Amino acid sequence: MRSTFADVYAAQYRRTVGLAALLVDDVETAEEITQDAFVALHRNWVHVTDPIAYLRRSVVNGGRDVQRRRAVRRRTEDRELLADDASLDVNHLDDVLRTLPDRQRAAIVLRYCEGLGDADIAEALGVRQPTVRTLVRRGLAQLRTQVER
């Protein structure tokens, strides 16, 4: 028996916010992305075969949109990273994670936080599996280099 929307909402909301926060740094934006994702999921509920995968992809896309808008603001306003406004505490590993390109960062988070395989990450990011392996390899290399610096 398929779960109801309310089931998925109750079971996945917090975890999805946590995932989104790793992609966009601040909890408020993470909640916004998560809520958008659930609203979209509700609207498409009858079509969605795998609600979790749908949420994951929505959150990754939402995170990417946020980062893109932030990048525009950084260029035009020459301000500090919006990440500096983050409501999360930060440490060195988080700082380094923020330096990764969006897709590398998402791939790392999905692999090492969510424990997903190549196929699932590829689906979430909308890329092919070999690309996932490349993103993870490069992301890890950069993380390690900077952390050990």
- Near another protein in 8-27, by CB under 8 A: 8-15, 17-19, 21-22, 27
- How many CB atoms are closer than 10 A to CB 117? 11
Among 82, 108, 132, 135, binds another protein (CB under 8 A): 108
Q: Are 100 and 139 in contact (CB under 8 A)?
A: yes
Q: Does residue 95 touch another protein according to CB under 8 A?
A: no
Among 84, 88, 95, 101, binds another protein (CB under 8 A): 88
Query: Which residue in 79, 99, 78, 77 sits closest to 25, CA to CA?
Result: 99
Q: Does residue 103 touch another protein according to CB under 8 A?
A: no
Residue 40 or 81 having the CB closest to another protein:
40
Q: Does residue 101 touch another protein according to CB under 8 A?
A: no
Q: Does residue 54 touch another protein according to CB under 8 A?
A: yes
Q: How far is the CB of 112 from another protein (least distance, A)?
A: 4
Task: Tell me how far CA of residue 113 lies from CA of 11, 85, 106, 116, in angstroms.
Answer: 17, 23, 10, 8
For 20, the 3-state DSSP assignment is: helix
Alpha-carbon span 109 to 55, nearest angstrom: 15
Q: How far is the CB of 21 from another protein (least distance, A)?
A: 4
Residue 59 or 82 having the CB closest to another protein:
59
Angle at 54 between CA 133 and CA 114, to 5 degrees: 45
